Amino acid sequence: MGFNTVVIKAMIDAGIISAPPAKINTAESMRNFLKAFVDQLAAQDYTPEHDWNGTKLRFTRADGTPGNYVELRGLQGLKGDTGAKGDTGTLTSSALPARTTPINRALDKLVVQRGDGVLEKVNLYQMAGGQPLVTGNLVANGNSEFGDLSNMTPSDPTKLIFDPTQSVPAGGKGAFKYTGLAAFVRTTDLIPVNLLRRHRISMVARTGDANGANYDANARGYFGIICYDADGLEITPPHFAKVSGAAQTTLAVALNPGDTTLTLTSAAGWHTGATAANRGFAWYPYTNALGQLFPDYGYSRNLSSNYPVYWQSNGGTWLSGGIAGNVITLRSPWAGPALAAGTKVANVMEGGTYLYSSALINALVPNAWTLYDAYIQGVNPGNTEDPANMMFRPGTAFIRPIILINYNAPAASTTFYFTMLDIRESSFDPSTLLAANNAFTGLNTFSADQTIKRIIASGTSPSAAAGTGAGSGGTVSILAGSTDMAGTITVNIGTSPPTNQLIATITFSSAFAAAPKGIVISARNNQTGMAIGRFYINAKTASTFTLFSTDVAPAASTTYLLDYIVIA
């Protein structure tokens, strides 16, 4: 709420001048009183608690929970502004005044895009000349920098507190503490992600108190992400996951409300067995609320399971054994919209609501601070999800981290602590070179037996073999002077290179005793269309590593030079 005190005072002056004075209150005394009242009123802070992230504004609701962000579009952000959709201008440090008074609460972070395209959150302290905080983390308050529960949404808000007394090896102001059973915590904010980039998710967690109290040895946890589309809708397996081997086909006959059968051009591979979760279908194309049109047989929210009568808990869209030839007998008359003959359809399946990492999936959480981290890279092509090799779900525009807490624990007093909840765009993470406990034992040395091995500058070159991802006629070779540990891969892309396919297999001249800890690739040449996001390391063994293409294939008839470093 804003007050124009000059206008209000002028109105008071005009009103009093035209009114006769009372016996006690003169016009002057009334004027002074009312002016003082306006000054006192204007001095009050009537603006609701709010957060500004550089392009969007949100206010805290009456119940204390943050509302949704509202984007200020156009050059001025005014109602009716004709600026381009999503044109939020550029916010620079010069646009933020330097603070001359203490900051008693950290503000939300700005999401900025660096010159190399990487998304990064920068705290307003830094841009205003204050004390720097941890940067790069896309989770606001994930490092407990606010010292409160900002941006944390638990399944039971009464059981989550911020505990500043916790001393965590990873740093921070304390930790988040949950007391209770079978709960979840996720962030309030949706985090925008670039699907062409690799992301690291991590947290530091412990079950039970530091002295061992309220610890349950049976307490299990899960850690992963929730995927959301551009409309902020949660993405689950039936929106993209196809039954393996099922034909992606079309309707041979129109499907109208009340029909009892579904006739396909080909029902080859469509599930007719006992698994109700596999007896459903999606239709295409799908267009979201923003007008984005998604590719056929990709992401779709047009599902038979949108209608409760076809839920897997109710037996699916058709019964086991309900397919004869290309005709499917529906378990209940068609409750969806009219679909014309020729409409594209696919057999989709239910699955896990959230995308969990193998770093913590139905696993015991010890009574000691433990680092859990995982990487997400690429977009799932529509197959079964692999917790050891996480991929974004098709249609993803935003994510939230999700933690499931104290599953299978019989004691309701069981405590769970977490902090350093972190999501960031990432290349190879040097921290994996450290010993398991990441502790220093002396000047510039690491504990345990693992050390950083130097890059060998001489030796025999590895060999390379092209895969289907290099396209028809594509070749791959190792540049002269390269070694097992470092060198340059020359990739000559042929015609019609596919996506998500093996580009090359690199075989070391001398096998390592174990698989290398990491392989870093970077772009050497500036060839037209060069984008390191089109390549990634898919697998590493003691004798090989493989180079794959992402959902955006390398350009046809183009030569790419990729430098590699192997860290063993």
What is the average per-residue pLDDT within 381-407? 92
pLDDT tens-place string over residues 510-535: 887 777 778 888 877 766 567 777 88
**What spatial distance separates the first Cα and last Cα of the chain, rounded to whole Å?**
61
Q: For 112, how many CA atoms within 13 A lie in the half-sphere containing its CB?
A: 18
pLDDT tens-place string over residues 93-151: 333 333 333 333 334 445 555 555 555 555 443 333 333 344 578 898 898 888 899 99
Tell me where in the chain the CATH 2.60.40 domain(s) lie.
463-567
Q: Which residue has the higher pLDDT, 16 or 177?
A: 177
- List helix spans (H) across 203-287: none
- List helix spans (H) across 18-123: 27-43
**Band of residue 154 on the pLDDT scale cut at 50, 70, 90:** very high
Q: Which residue has the higher pLDDT, 441 or 354?
A: 354
User: Position 309: which residue type?
Assistant: V
pLDDT of residue 57: 66
pLDDT of residue 117: 54
User: Of 106-115, 259-268, 481-490, 496-505, which gets the smallest average pLDDT?
Assistant: 106-115
User: Structurally, what CATH architecture does the domain formed by 463-567 represent?
Assistant: Sandwich (2.60)
- Cβ burial 222-237 (10 Å sphere, 16+ → b, else e): bbbbbbbbeeebebbb
- Please say if the pLDDT value at position 241 is more than 90: yes
Which strands make up the sheet holding 559-567, listed edge to edge? 475-478, 486-492, 559-567, 518-523
- Please say if the pLDDT value at position 384 is more than 50: yes
Tokens of 195: 């699907």
Q: Which residue has the higher pLDDT, 85 or 489?
A: 489
Strands 475-478 and 486-492: antiparallel
Tokens of 83: 């600026």
User: Of 39-48, 138-147, 450-459, which gets the smallest average pLDDT?
Assistant: 450-459
CA–CA separation, 293 vs 236, rounded Å? 19
Q: What percent of the chain has pLDDT over 70?
A: 70
pLDDT tens-place string over residues 524-566: 776 656 777 788 888 888 889 999 988 888 888 888 888 888 8
User: Of 73-87, 218-232, 552-566, which gets the smallest average pLDDT?
Assistant: 73-87
What is the average per-residue pLDDT within 356-383? 92
Which secondary structure element, helix H or strand E, spans residue 127, and what is its range?
helix 124-127
| Top mean-pLDDT range of 44-48, 115-119, 131-135, 199-203 | 199-203
pLDDT of residue 548: 92
pLDDT of residue 46: 45
Measured at the alpha carbon of residue 456, what is the angle toward residues 453 and 460, in degrees to the nearest 5? 135
- Strand ranges, E, within 461-532: 463-466, 475-478, 486-492, 502-507, 518-523
For 485, which DSSP code? S
- Please say if the pLDDT value at position 299 is more than 80: yes
